[in-house]
């Protein structure tokens, strides 16, 4: 018997087939092979058709069943992870009203900023644990203001994973962790925020029914089965946003446990049981997958938009063959990149910089001394330094790190990147060979909220190695980081 896990990204759908008995990944695949289209009608906008996600979910599911020569009835249950902060709207008949306004769409920034002022800093900090910012609630308010006729037809709003579960089952529901990522959840009253709904003019009955993150949420109906290839009655048993789910995939559930990812954007996700936050304008705070009123686990999420996208840009614009060559060139250069500094923030507004857009900066380049190796090393160091810089804000919220875990992919495959972070924060980094889709599949097998099965699967199947601090490089790295931080803060002050 097997579980299937889906990870709905904005570029592709990942799907994983996992053995129910061992938690071992049998196959992981991606659909489509090329990146899905993002529609941008105006600068700062980003939309996708949710039915495109569902189409590729169906293709991936049929491939997993066919390519592994199994029956649909061999799939015990499914789990869903999804791109966070997206907005999906349906009418009373369950029909889509518009494209999804996805995570990287920034049209609602000013709406969130005004809501922060009007609702009050005290309420946002103590009840929402965040400023409303550019999250799902603010995007829904944008629809209310700019598409009022459409808004009046809204029956339910959903997050991307909610919509996929609905297409499979015909049932519309959501989770506390999902509502919290949209900044709809009031952590003081442990209910949907009436103050926020009233302020934004969002009807209470447009909120989907709430189900636990783990356990039976719905079952595949006949229509969903015909389209996806799953059997009628296959249970949907797990749902979470991609970053809480990535933490689950890395066995991060308890205070002091931290997950990190270094993809197109970079993320540090730390679990705490504290409901207080001083850095809620820079660091996001959401209900973790194992949150409940008796066990209020909070995920503190630091997102760095300008991370792997910088390294990819360099690969596309330097005369290099691949990332391995770039890493070799970087390793031939000294710590500190011989004075070259790169600020990697060229992928839009950075929340940890209070939504400032400062762009990517190449500084101190000497055309007679520096070459592409220096640029590669300065990029890796600059991205690593941005992680360290952001973690300083998390430390202001009394973040304690007992263990830091990361996936064996993207930037963490670079020795320079991972060792720079490890050395500067003086913390080992455990590397695991897993994915969000595998994590979602394993979570589909959780019974009665017992997360120990996921923990055991990660330990038994995924551990790769440990990255340890390099004591001999600590002084040089600290000096380079101090220079980088000074350049960053000069740029921030110039943008005020």
Per-residue pLDDT reduced to its tens digit, 448-479: 889 999 999 999 999 999 999 999 999 999 99
Tell me the C-alpha distance between 181 and 443, whole Å. 19
Which of 215, 245, 275 terminates a domain? The answer is 245
Statement: residue 155 has pLDDT above 80? yes
Pair (75, 12) in one structural domain: yes
CA distance 72 to 88: 29
Report the range of poorest mean pLDDT among 256-265, 367-376, 422-431: 256-265
Q: 209 and 259 share a domain?
A: no
- Between the CA atoms of 122, 126, 132 and 133, what dihedral angle is there, to the nearest 10 degrees? 80
pLDDT at 264: 83
Percent of the chain with pLDDT over 90: 89
496: pLDDT strictly greater than 80: no
Domain boundary among 199, 227, 245: 245
Q: What Cα–Cα distance (Å) separates residue 265 from each residue in 145, 414, 423?
A: 30, 15, 21
Residue 315: pLDDT over 70: yes
- Do 141 and 75 lie in one domain? The reply is yes
User: How many other CB atoms sit within 10 Å of the CB of residue 300?
Assistant: 24
pLDDT digits (tens, 9 = 90+) for 204-241: 999 999 999 999 999 999 999 999 999 999 999 999 99
Higher pLDDT, 34 or 479: 479
Task: Write down the pTM of the prediction.
Answer: 0.93
| Whether residue 495 sits in one domain with residue 469 | yes
Same domain, 365 and 489: yes
Task: Tell me the C-alpha distance between 259 and 251, whole Å.
Answer: 9
Q: What pLDDT, on a 0 to 100 scale, did the predictor assign at position 295? A: 86
Per-residue pLDDT for 490 more than 70?
yes
**pLDDT value at residue 274:** 87
Does the pLDDT value for residue 20 go beyond 70?
yes
Has residue 9 been placed in a domain?
yes
Q: Distance between CA atoms of 493 and 496, rounded to whole angstroms?
A: 5
Mean pLDDT of the chain: 95
Per-position DSSP letters for 463-490, written without gaps between them = EEEEE---GGGHHHHHHHHHHHHHHHHH
pLDDT, one tens digit per residue, over 73-115 is: 999 999 999 999 999 999 999 999 999 999 989 899 899 999 9
Alpha carbon distance 335, 337 (integer Å): 5
pLDDT band at residue 144 using 50, 70 and 90 as cut-offs: very high
Q: How far apart are CA 128 and CA 429, in angstroms?
A: 31
Tokens of 418: 């991972």
Residue 68 included in any domain: yes
pLDDT of residue 120: 96
**Domain boundary residue, one of 245, 275, 306:** 245
291 — phi, psi (to 5°)? -70, 135
Question: Does residue 444 form part of some domain?
Answer: no
Partners of 261 in beta bridges? 267
- The answer on 467 and 338 residing in a single domain is yes
**Whether residue 13 sits in one domain with residue 122:** yes
- Please state the domain count of the chain: 2
The pLDDT of residue 294 is: 86
Say what the pLDDT of residue 463 is: 96
Measured from the Cβ of residue 316, the count of other Cβ atoms closer than 10 Å reads: 8
Same domain for 128 and 212: yes
Task: Identify the domain containing residue 399 by its residue range.
Answer: 251-433+462-496
Is residue 103 situated within a structural domain?
Answer: yes
On the CB side of 357, how many CA atoms lie within 13 Å of its CA? 7
Q: Is 354 exposed, middle or buried (0-12, 13-18, 19+ CB in 10 A)?
A: exposed
Provide DSSP, 392-404. Answer: HHHHHTT---SEE
DSSP β-bridge partners for residue 32: none
pLDDT-based confidence at residue 356 (cuts at 50, 70, 90): confident
Same domain, 404 and 494: yes
441 located within any domain: no
Average pLDDT value for residue range 8-37: 95
What is residue 476's predicted lDDT score, i.e. its pLDDT? 98
Residues 333 and 481 in one domain: yes
């Amino acid at each position: 018997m097997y579980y299937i896990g889906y990870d709905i990204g904005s570029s592709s759908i990942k799907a994983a087939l996992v053995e129910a008995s061992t938690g071992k990944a049998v196959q992981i695949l991606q659909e489509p092979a090329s990146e899905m289209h993002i529609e941008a009608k105006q600068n700062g906008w980003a939309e996708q058709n949710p039915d495109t996600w569902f189409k590729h979910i169906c293709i991936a599911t049929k491939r997993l069943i066919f390519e592994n020569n199994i029956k649909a009835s061999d799939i015990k249950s499914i789990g869903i992870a999804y791109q966070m902060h997206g907005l999906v709207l349906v009418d009373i008949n369950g029909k889509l009203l518009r494209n999804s306004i996805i995570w990287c769409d920034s049209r609602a920034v000013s709406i969130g900023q005004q809501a922060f002022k009007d609702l009050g800093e005290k309420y946002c900090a103590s009840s929402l644990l965040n400023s409303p910012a550019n999250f799902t609630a603010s995007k829904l308010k944008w629809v209310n203001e700019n598409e009022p006729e459409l808004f009046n037809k809204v029956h339910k709003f959903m997050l991307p994973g909610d919509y996929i579960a609905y297409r499979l089952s015909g049932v519309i529901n959501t989770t506390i962790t999902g509502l919290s990522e949209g900044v709809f959840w009031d952590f003081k009253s442990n209910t949907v925020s009436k103050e926020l709904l009233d302020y934004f003019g969002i009807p209470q009955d447009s909120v989907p029914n709430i189900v636990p993150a783990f356990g039976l949420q719905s079952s595949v109906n006949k229509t969903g089965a015909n389209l996806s290839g799953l059997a009628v009655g296959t249970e949907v048993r797990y749902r979470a946003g991609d970053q809480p789910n990535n933490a689950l995939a890395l066995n991060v559930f308890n205070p002091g446990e931290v997950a990190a990812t270094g993809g197109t954007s970079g993320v540090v996700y730390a679990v705490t049981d504290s409901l207080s936050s001083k850095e809620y304008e820079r660091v996001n705070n959401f209900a973790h997958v194992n949150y409940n009123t008796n066990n209020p686990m909070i995920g503190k999420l630091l997102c760095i938009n300008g991370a792997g996208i910088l390294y990819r840009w360099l690969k596309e614009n330097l005369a290099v063959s691949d990332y391995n060559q770039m890493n070799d060139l970087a390793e031939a250069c000294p710590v500190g990149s011989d004075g070259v500094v790169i600020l990697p923030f060229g992928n839009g507004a950075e929340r940890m910089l209070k939504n400032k857009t400062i762009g990517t900066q190449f500084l101190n380049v000497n055309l007679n001394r520096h070459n592409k190796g220096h640029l590669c090393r300065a990029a890796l160091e600059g991205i690593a330094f941005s992680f360290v810089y952001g973690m300083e804000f998390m430390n202001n919220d009394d973040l304690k790190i007992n263990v830091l875990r990361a996936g064996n992919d993207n930037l963490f495959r670079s020795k320079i990147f991972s060792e720079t972070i490890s050395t500067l924060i003086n913390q080992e980094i455990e590397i695991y060979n897993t994915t969000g889709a595998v994590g979602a599949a394993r979570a589909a097998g959780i019974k009665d909220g017992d997360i120990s099965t996921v923990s055991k699967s990660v330990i038994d199947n995924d551990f790769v190695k440990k990255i340890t601090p390099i004591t001999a490089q600590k002084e040089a790295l600290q000096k380079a980081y101090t220079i980088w931080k000074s350049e960053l803060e000069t740029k921030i002050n110039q943008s005020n």
